[in-house]
Structure formats: structure tokens, C-alpha cells
Amino acid sequence: MRLTHIRRTVGATAASALLLVLAACGGSGTEEPAASSTSGAPAANAFPVSIDNKYGTTTVKAEPKRIVVVGLVEQDALLALGVVPVATTEWFGEKPGAIWPWAEAALGSNPRPQVLTNTDGVQVEKVAALRPDLIIGLYSGLTKQEYDTLSKIAPVLAQPKNQVDYGVSWQEVTRTVGKAVGRSEQAEKVVADVQAKFEAVKAANPKFNGATGLMATTYEGYYVYGPEDARGRFLTDLGFKLPDGLAQITGKEFGANLSRERTDLLDTDVLIWLVDKYDTDKAKVEADPLYSKLKVKTEGRDIYLENEELVGAATSFITPLSLPFLLEKLTPLLQAAVDGDPATAVGRPAA
């Protein structure tokens, strides 16, 4: 499943239902368990804190205890900081609690979060029933109407201003979440530790520096991820250079479809394909007469990752917890792609 351009609205019916749910919750004698800590670390920064977003400024008055994640990946940043949300939002993979294997150690023995869906937009009534004191939607496409509706329930961290939807970096997610939960110093350490792993990989692989790289998928033809997308940023964080003209094609979105006339944009030093089915989708791409003539194909510099296998999933689900795993598993394939020897088989990532 790919993250596509989804625009959702919360209609008047949902808003009315929200008021009924809030009233019902006020008389309920049951409570979901509060967000738990995986480390017992005390909050470090003082409250209140104010955080700007696409639709305004959100103030968190006290350390939140019941956090609901309506974005797609922010649970990992919380877990990395020792905080377990009461609810997450399913993107893909259908993992229990929406917790992927790379985050299991951080979750530990704590209760798994309740899982919400976003198939038809944010599940406002379910969010309200959870009685959150903070709602996080940084890696999201929250609309203004959704933001306003959710803000009636609790403070909302919406996507950052002046950035594309679903375009916030893992570093900014970690730092913003850290500020919101009172653990800014811990967040800085998390970011620094992961960035050190990037620097180590870069130092060991000077051929990455300045080589062109791109991530793409076969969604409605050929779809490429731009410079403000987490997948594009992963490559640039390793020293790769995205192809010239990519930003003009993706514009104000995290990615865009390529016209047949611009298939040449795929001809990079390394090209990572994210596909639903490894064998069938790879065969389909390789059978394309336009693509089959590109040097990235003839010289064996393309890498295929299946979306729901762990390496492919981590390539989209980019967080401070998935990145160490991704760097370990994907680096050998990148090395093979840019070694300058067409005879080197890139292969499929190890599980």
C-alpha cells in the first residue's frame, strides 16, 4: 500500500456526532489506560510549550498523558522517547498496535496502543472517546476542518507550515514530539545518535557522495518521490543527489507521476523501486521498452523492494527506530548498485 494524495474532510455529521460522543464520554465510568512510559524518565522541559503548525499555533499546557496519533508514523518517535501512545493510526502492514518489529524493543512490555484507521478520514468519534490530552498528526494531510474539529477535543500537532503534506522529516517529527512531551533533550540525543549512523555509512561509502539517486513506484504508471519526501531525504542524507528537475515535477506534493516523455528522469546512478509484488512488478517494469533502454537498467543499478517486506516497509516508514534497521539492510544493495561494475548483482534484500 502506498501513501497517495488523500484529501479528507470532516462533514457536519461528524462534527455533530463529536459533540454527542463528548457528552457521552463525560458520563462514562470507564477509562482507557493512560499513556505509559517505557523508561520512567521525568519530563525535562517546562510547560506550557507552543508549537506552530500549518493552521496556527498549538499550546500544550502540561505534560500529556493520553496521546493519540492520527499521523502515520509518529508512534515511533514517541516510543524512542520512552512514551507509549494510547492509540495509533494504521497506514499499512496491519501490525498489532501499528508497531513494526523495529519498534518492539522500545515498546517493551507496555500495552499496545489501540489502532485507528484513516480510510475515510480521521475517526473523530473514536479519538474523542479515548479522551486524549494531545493529538499528533505531523506526518499527515490533515485538513483545516479536521484540525479545527480535533482541536475541540485536545491540542493538535498538525503538519508543519510551509511544507508539503506528508513531507515533514523524521528529525523534525522527533524534535517536535520531544518538545510536546517535555523531552527535548532526549529527542536531540535520539536524532544525534541516528545521524551518527548516517555519517558512519557515508564515511565508509564515498561513492555515495554526489551520485544520483531516486525512489519510485509503479503507482498509475511511474511515480517518483520528491526532495521533500522522507524517501527522497533518506537518499540525500546519505550523500546522494536527486536528479535535476525532480522538484519541478513534484511541485507542492511529496511526489508525482512521470509522463512517458520524462522516463529519462529514472536514469540515475541508483534507482530504488517500491513495488507491491517483487517478481511480477519487477518483470513489468523491465518489460517496458522505454525503461529497458536506460543505463540504470542495462547496468544493473536498480533495486526492487517489496512494500510490505520489512526493508521495503522501512523505506517508507522512516523514523528514528526504523532507520538503523534500514541502513543495515539497504546499504549493501546501494554499494552494489554504485560500484561501477555492471556484472555485480544487486539482488534482493536479506530479511
Cis check: omega of the bond before 113, within 30 degrees of 0: no
User: Can you spell out the DSSP letters for 92-156?
Assistant: SS--GGG--GGGHHHHTTSPPPEEE--BTB--HHHHHHT--SEEE-SSS---HHHHHHHHTTS-E
- Measured CA to CA, the distance from residue 183 to residue 338 in angstroms comes to 40
Task: From residue 252, give the alpha-carbon distance in Å to each of 5, 172, 229, 249, 294.
Answer: 11, 19, 11, 9, 28
Q: What pLDDT shows up at residue 33?
A: 53
What would the grid cell of residue 111 be?
500495552
Q: What pLDDT shows up at residue 7?
A: 30
Express the helix, strand and coil content of the chain in percent, nearest 5 each. 40, 15, 45
What is the separation, in whole angstroms, between the first and last Cα of the chain? 19
- Measured CA to CA, the distance from residue 210 to residue 217 in angstroms comes to 23
Tens-of-pLDDT digits for all 351 residues of the chain? 344 333 332 333 344 344 444 444 443 333 445 566 665 554 457 899 999 999 999 999 999 999 999 999 999 999 999 999 999 999 999 999 999 999 999 999 999 999 999 988 999 999 999 999 999 999 999 999 999 999 999 999 999 999 999 999 999 999 999 999 999 999 999 999 999 999 999 999 999 999 999 999 999 999 999 999 999 999 999 999 999 999 999 999 999 999 988 999 999 999 999 999 999 999 999 999 999 999 999 999 999 999 999 999 999 999 999 999 999 999 999 999 999 999 888 988 876
Q: What pLDDT shows up at residue 38?
A: 62
Q: What pLDDT shows up at residue 349?
A: 87
Q: What pLDDT shows up at residue 35?
A: 60
Q: What pLDDT shows up at residue 345?
A: 84
Q: What pLDDT shows up at residue 242?
A: 98
Closest CA to 81 of 35, 38, 33: 38
Provide φ and ψ at 172, rounded to 5°: -70, -40
Q: What pLDDT shows up at residue 8?
A: 30
Q: What pLDDT shows up at residue 350?
A: 77
Q: What pLDDT shows up at residue 46?
A: 85
- Measured CA to CA, the distance from residue 242 to residue 211 in angstroms comes to 8
- Measured CA to CA, the distance from residue 301 to residue 342 in angstroms comes to 8
What would the grid cell of residue 53 be?
503548525
The DSSP element (H or E) to which 198 belongs, if any, is: helix 184-204
The pTM of the full predicted model, rounded to 2 decimals, is 0.89
Per residue in 193-216, is it b (16+ CB within 10 Å) or e — as a string? Answer: ebeeebeebeeebeebeebbbbbb
